[in-house]
Amino acid sequence: MEEDIVDYALECAKSKGVEYAEVRAQSQLQERLMLRNGILEAYVSAVDSGFCVRILADGGIGFASTNKWAMEEAKKIADLAFRYAKVANRKDKITFAEEKGVETKWIVGQKEKVEDISPEEKISKFVEINKSLSSCGVNVAATMSSCRMDLTSKYFANSEGSRISSFVPRIAAFIFITVAEQGKTEQASEQFGCSGGWEVFREWNIPEEMIHDAKVLRDVIKKGKTVKPGIMDLICGPEVTGIAAHESCGHPMEADRILGREMSQAGRSFIFKGGPFWIGTRIGSDVVTIVDDPAIEHSYGYYAYDDEGVKARRRYLYKNGIINEFLHNRETAAKLGTRSNASSRSVNYDREAIVRMANTFVVPGEMTEEELIEDVKHGVYMKSFTEWNIDDKRFNQRYVGREAYLIENGELKNPVARPVIETTTLKFWTAADAVSKKVEFDAATCGKGDPSQGMPVYTGGPCIRLRGVYIK
Amino acid sequence: MKDVLNKTEEIVKKAKALGADEVVANTTFGMYRQVRFSNNQVDITLAWDDYVTDVALAWKKRVVATQIRNFHEVDARIKKLLELAKVSKENPMFGGFAKGRFRYQRSKADEKLRDLENPTDYVFEAISGAEKEAGSQIESGGILFTKFEDVYLVSSEGPVGVDNRSAIELSIRVFSQREASGHGVECSSTLKDFKPARAGMKAGEIARLAKNPKAGDEGVYDVIFDPLIFGSSLAVWASMASAFDVMVQRSIFVNKLGQKVAPKIVTLKDNPAAYSLASRVFDDEGVPARENIFIDKGMLKTYLHNTSTAKIFKTETTGNAGLVFPTPWNVEMNPGDMSKEELFEEVKRGLYLTNTWYTRFQNYAKGDFSTIPRDGIFLVEKGEIKRSLKDIRLSDNALSLLNNIAGISKERQHVHWWGEADPSSLSPYVLIKNVHITKSK
C-alpha cells in the first residue's frame, strides 16, 4: 500500500471544506481452494488492493473507490465522493458521533505464517478430509469443500487525525457433504474460521468433525424418528444457541436497522422508537445475557479498531433478559444521541462500512450440560441445525435440527429426524430457564449489505434449556 | 480498446511462453454506481471503479487462477501462477477450455450508462410513483444501481472477443404502516427502457393494499406468485440446473435428465439476452452466450455446462462457463395463456405472495426448504384480495412446487433483487397449487 497516495487523497478531500473525510486502503493476499468430491477444481491466488474516500459534506455522504494506485486517481475519487455527498440534499442532515483521532498499529500474529506453508500441504489437508470420509464406513455420496486464506493489511486515515495500520490473517474452510443410505439422503455443512496463522487450521481437526457429521446423518436416516408435535422442553446445543443469538439478538440490535437504513434489503427490527420494545424492555428470562465481542483474540470476527477507527469493546446486547445496548457506528450513534461502540465494518476497500456484528454469543451459566438434560422429562436435545431462517423484523424464526435426540426422563434416547422449532424471539428467549457453563463458538459468514458483504463472525454460547416450547 | 485487448493477449502469450497448456484472460474495466436511500432520503451515493484481469490457466490438468489489477505486475503474477500450477494437484476431470474461433453478436450496451451524471433523480421518480399510490406519508428505501463494463477476452484456444455490458436497476420498498409494505423493482440493460416510477407505483400499490395485516394461518393453499417472488424460485431452479451443483448434489435435478420434473406448461430457459441485466455475448471461456432451454414442456432437457462439465456428461458446453464452474445468467419462463386476472379467478381460497427472503434448504437433493414471504401477503377468496396477512412461512419442497404449477400468466416482468431473485429472470405471475404454509407457535 502506498500511504503517500492515501494521505494525498485525504488532503484532496479535506481541501473541499468538508465536515468529515476518511480514506481507507486495503491490500489483501488471497488464496482459494475449491474441491469437488476430493478433486481440486482450482487453486486461486490473487492480490486485491485499493482505497476509498468517504466524505460527509452538507449532511450527505459520498463514497468512491478505485484500485488504481496513482495520485491523479486519488484526486479523481476524492472529487467524486465530494460531488456525491453534495447531491444527497437531505432535509435532516447526517452527523457523526464524536471521536478523538487515534494513531496506532495493531496486528494479529501468526505462529506459522500462512504464506510459508506450501500449496502442496494446503491441498493435501483437504484431500485428506475426503479420504477420511471415504473410509469412515458411511456412504458419503458427494462432497464440496473450499478454503480461503486472506492476509489483509489496512491503512485508515481521517480528517480528525486518525492514522491506523493493521494486519489480520484469516483462514476459513467450508465443507458440505451428502450421505446416501437406504435410498435416502441427508446433508450437512460445516464452516471453520479463525484469525491467525496456519496453526489454527491444525487445531480444527476437520476430518474428525466431518466423520462425526457423516455418522450422524447415517443414524438420522437409519434410526431417526420424527417427533410427535407438541409442547415440550428443548435443549439447544452451542451451535443452535449461537445461531439464535446471532439472528434474534445480534441482527435486531443493529442500530441501522432500527433506524430504517436497511429497510429495503436486510429489513428493519422489531425494536423501534415508540414500539413495544426498546432499551430497558424485557425480551427474555433472567438467565439470558447475550454479548457481541470483537476483542476475542484469534476469533473469526476479531478486530481491535473498527473501520471508522473506533476502539473495539464488548457490547452487552441483552443483559439478564433486558434489551441493553444497540450496535452502533458513528452515524447511528449520533442519531440516537450516544457514542459509537465500534460496530462499523467493511469487507473491502470498495464497500461502505456498515453496522455489523463480530462474535455474538450467550454468556455461560453455572450448570453442566448433563444437569440441563437430567431435569427434562420429555423433550428434544437439538445439538446442531440444518435449515434456518428469520423474518426481516427478526421476530419469527425457525431452526431445524440436524443432530438431535429425544430426551425421556432425563436421558438421551433415539435420534430425532429433523425436529423443528418455529417461534418468536420473545417466546424463545423467555422460555430459557437454564444455561450451561461451557461456551463453544462456530465460524459463520454473516450476510448483509448491498452489494452483499459476507462478514466473518463467530456465533456461540453454551447449551440453553427452553421450557415448554412447541416442537414438531 | 485495441490497447487493452493487446495487453490481455500479451498475458496469454506470456503464460504460454512460460509453459502453460491453456490460458484464458478476461479483462474487465468496470464502473459501478449506487444510490442507497431510506426514510425517503438519500443515505449515500457510491462509485467504485474496478480494473481487473481474471486469468485461468491449466498445466497438465492442474487448474489455477489469479486476478491482475496492475499491468505492471503481469510478469511476476504469471510466473507465480505457473509455479503454483506445477505444485498443484491434477484434476482428471478437467476437459480443457473451449476451442475454436467464434463470431459474437454485437453488444447492445447503452453508452448512456457509462457514467450517469446524477442518478439520484431516478430515486425520487420512484418515490413519487410510490406516493401516488400510497400517499405522502410513506416511508421508502432501496437502491439504484448502474454498471458499465468493458470486457476483453483472449483464450489460447482460439476465442477472442470484446463485449460491453450495461445495466441499471432500482429496488424500492415502501411502508404504508410499520407492518405494511410493498416492494417493486425495475431492471434494464438500457436507460431507454428503464422506468423507475413503475417500480415505485408497484411498491406503493402493494403497500396500500397491505395495510392492517393480521397473522396468517397454517395450512395448504393455492398461491398466486407475483413475478418478484417467483423470480426467487426461478433463481433456485436455474442454479440447481448447473452441472456443478448436480455433481455435488446441491440440486433436485440429480439423475433426472430426460425425466418429467414439471407439468407441460412449464418451459424454463437460461438466456443472457440483450434486455437483461446479465446481457453478455460470450461466457468466461469465450463461448458465445445463447439461449438454453433446460426444462422443455416439463421435461428436464439439459444441465448448464462449461467445457469440462459438458465432457463429463458427454455433451456440448451450453456457454455458461464462469471462472471455475457453470452458472446461469438470466432465467426465462415461457409465458402462459392466462391473464393475471384469470389466474386470480382460479383461486377459491388461497394466497397472493409478492416477495420473500431468507430461503434456506434442509436438503438440496431432496428439495425441502422454507422461505419467509414479506411485502404484501394477501388472502384471496373467490378471485379477489380479501385481506392483508403477516407472519407466515412457506415451508415446502422445490420439486413439489415445480410440479404443482397450475397456471402461468402471459404477462412477464424482468426482475432481480438482492440475494433472493438472483440471478435475474423474466418472470410471470404463476399459480401453484397445494403450497404448505407454517407459522410461529
SS3 string, A22-50, reads EEEEEEEEEEEEEEECCEEEEEEEEEEEE
Q: What is the mean pLDDT of residues A428-456?
A: 97
Give the three-class secondary structure for A308. coil
Could you report the per-residue pLDDT of A184-213, keeping only the tens digit for each?
A: 999 999 999 999 999 999 999 999 999 999
Looking at the fold, whether B377 and B439 belong to one and the same domain comes out as yes
Concatenated DSSP letters of B177-213: ETTEEEEEEEEESSSTT--HHHHHHHHHHHHHHT-S-
Question: Which run of H or of E encompasses A433?
Answer: strand A432-435
Helices and strands per DSSP (H, E), number in chain B: 9, 18
Same domain, A213 and A240: no
B140 and B286 share a domain? no
- State the residue range of the domain holding B38: 2-207
Could you tell me if B161 and B238 lie in one domain?
A: no
Q: How many other CB atoms sit within 10 Å of the CB of residue B23?
A: 24
pLDDT for A30-61, tens place per residue? 999 999 999 999 999 999 999 999 999 999 99
Mean pLDDT, chain B, rounded, equals 97
The pLDDT of B45-56, averaged and rounded, is 95
Query: Dihedral, CA atoms, B241, B247, B250, B254, nearest 10 degrees?
Result: 60
- Output the pLDDT for position A328: 98
Q: Which of B84, B93, B374 sits opposite A39 (nearest CB)?
A: B93
Confidence of residue B323 (pLDDT cuts 50, 70, 90): confident
Which CATH number covers residue A52?
Answer: 3.30.2290.10
Confidence tier at B55 by pLDDT (50, 70, 90): very high
Q: Are residues B161 and B286 in the same domain?
A: no
Q: What are phi and psi of A14, to 5 degrees?
A: -65, -35
Q: How far is A297 from chain B (nearest CA, A)?
A: 31
Helix (H) or strand (E) holding B7: helix B2-17
Residue A83 and residue A133 in one domain: yes
Q: Check whether B324 has a pLDDT greater than 90.
A: no
CATH number reported for the structural domain that contains residue B60 in this entry: 3.30.2290.10
A371 in the same domain as A439: yes
Alpha-carbon distance B304 to B313, whole Å?
A: 11
Same domain, A67 and A121: yes
Q: Are residues B299 and B396 in the same domain?
A: yes
| Residues of the domain holding A261 | 230-471
Give the one of B118, B140, B440 whose C-beta lies nearest to A423's C-beta. B440
- The residue of chain A with its CA nearest to that of B360 is A387
- State the average pLDDT over residues B374-395: 98
Q: Is the peptide bond before A451 cis (omega within 30 degrees of 0)?
A: yes
B236-295 pLDDT, tens digit each: 999 999 999 999 999 999 999 999 999 999 999 999 999 999 999 999 999 999 999 999
HSE-CB at A289 with a 13 A cutoff on CA atoms is: 14
Burial degree of A120 (CB within 10 A; 0-12, 13-18, 19+) = exposed
Whether B197 contacts B126, CB under 8 Å: yes
| Contact call for residues A359 and A299 (beta carbons, < 8 A) | yes
Residue with cell 502453460: B20
Supply the pLDDT for residue B1.
65
**B250 and B334 housed in the same domain:** yes
- Cβ pairs bridging A and B (under 8 Å): 243
How far apart are alpha carbons A414 and A404 in whole angstroms? 9
CA-CA distances (angstroms) from residue B367 to A387, B128, B374?
A: 11, 41, 22
User: Within this chain, do residues B305 and B354 fall inside the same structural domain, yes or no?
Assistant: yes
- Are B51 and A67 inside 8 Å of each other by CB? yes
Whether B370 sits inside 8 A of A67 (CB atoms) is no
State residue B309's pLDDT score.
Answer: 97
Identify whether residues A270 and A167 lie together within a single domain.
Answer: no
What H or E segment, with its residue span, contains residue A424? strand A420-424
Q: What is the mean pLDDT of residues A151-174?
A: 98
- Where among B175, B207, B239 does a domain terminate? B207
- Where among B189, B207, B225 does a domain terminate? B207
pLDDT at residue B72 is higher than 90: no
Q: Which of B36, B41, B364 sits opposite A91 (nearest CB)?
A: B41
**B93-109 mean pLDDT:** 95
CA distance B294 to B286: 21
Q: Is A270 helix (H, G, I), strand (E, B) or coil?
A: coil
Partner residue opposite B173 with nearest CB, options A47, A142, A263: A263
**From B308, which residue of chain A is nearest by alpha-carbon distance?**
A41
CB contact under 8 A, B142 and A49: no
Q: What is the reported pLDDT for B419?
A: 86
Chain A residue numbers with beta carbons less than 8 Å from the beta carbon of B84 are 43, 45, 119
Average predicted confidence (pLDDT) for chain A: 97
Q: How many alpha carbons lie under 13 Å from residue B8 in its C-beta half-sphere?
A: 29
DSSP string, A1-25: --HHHHHHHHHHHHTT--SEEEEEE
Q: A318 and A178, same structural domain?
A: no
User: Do residues A358 and A342 share a domain?
Assistant: yes
Do B256 and B217 lie in a common domain? yes
Q: Based on the domain organization, do B86 and B139 belong to the same domain?
A: yes
Last residue of a domain, which of A170, A190, A223?
A: A223
Of how many residues is chain B composed?
A: 441
User: Using the beta-carbon criterion (under 8 Å), do A66 and B91 form an inter-chain contact?
Assistant: no
Three-state SS at A114: helix
Residue from the list A48, A260, A451 with its beta carbon closest to the beta carbon of B38:
A260
Confidence check: pLDDT of A369 > 90: yes
The rounded Cα A316 to chain-centroid distance in angstroms is 16
Q: Which of A151-160, B22-31, B320-329, B338-347 has the lowest mean pLDDT?
A: B320-329
State the helix-helix crossing angle for A119-134 and B74-87, rounded to 10 degrees. 40
pLDDT, average across residues A293-310: 98
Listing from the earlier edge strand, what are the strands of the sheet with A440-446? A322-323, A315-319, A290-292, A359-362, A455-461, A440-446
pLDDT of the residue at B73:
86
The percent of residues in chain A predicted with pLDDT above 70, rounded, is: 100
Tens digit of pLDDT for each residue in B111-145?
A: 999 978 778 999 999 999 999 999 999 999 999 99
If asked whether residues A238 and A208 sit together in one domain, one would say no
Q: Show residues of chain A in contact with B81, CB under 8 Å.
A: 45
Measured in degrees and rounded to the nearest 5, phi and psi for residue B68 equal: -115, 125
Quick one: A302 and A153 in the same domain?
Answer: no
Rounded to 10 degrees, the C-alpha dihedral A276/A278/A281/A285 comes to 100
> What pLDDT is attached to residue A193?
98
Per-residue pLDDT for B351 more than 80? Answer: yes
C-alpha cell at A87: 447531491
Q: Please tell me whether residue A265 adopts helix, strand or coil conformation.
A: coil
**What percent of chain B stands above pLDDT 70?**
100
- Are residues B168 and B312 both part of a single domain? no
Residues B364, B293 share a domain: yes
Q: Please count the structural domains in chain A.
A: 2
Domain boundary among B185, B207, B229: B207
- Looking at the fold, whether A365 and A311 belong to one and the same domain comes out as yes
Q: Do residue B418 and residue B388 come from a single domain? A: yes
Contact at CB, A41 and B441, closer than 8 angstroms: no
CB atoms within 10 A of CB B109: 24
| Residue B11 backbone phi and psi in degrees, to 5 | -60, -45
CA angle B406, B411, B413 (to 5 degrees): 110
Does A219 share its domain with A310? no
pLDDT range class, residue B2, cuts 50, 70, 90 = confident
Say if the Cβ atoms of B391 and A391 lie within 8 Å.
yes
Total domains present in chain B: 2
φ and ψ at A319, to 5 degrees? -120, 115
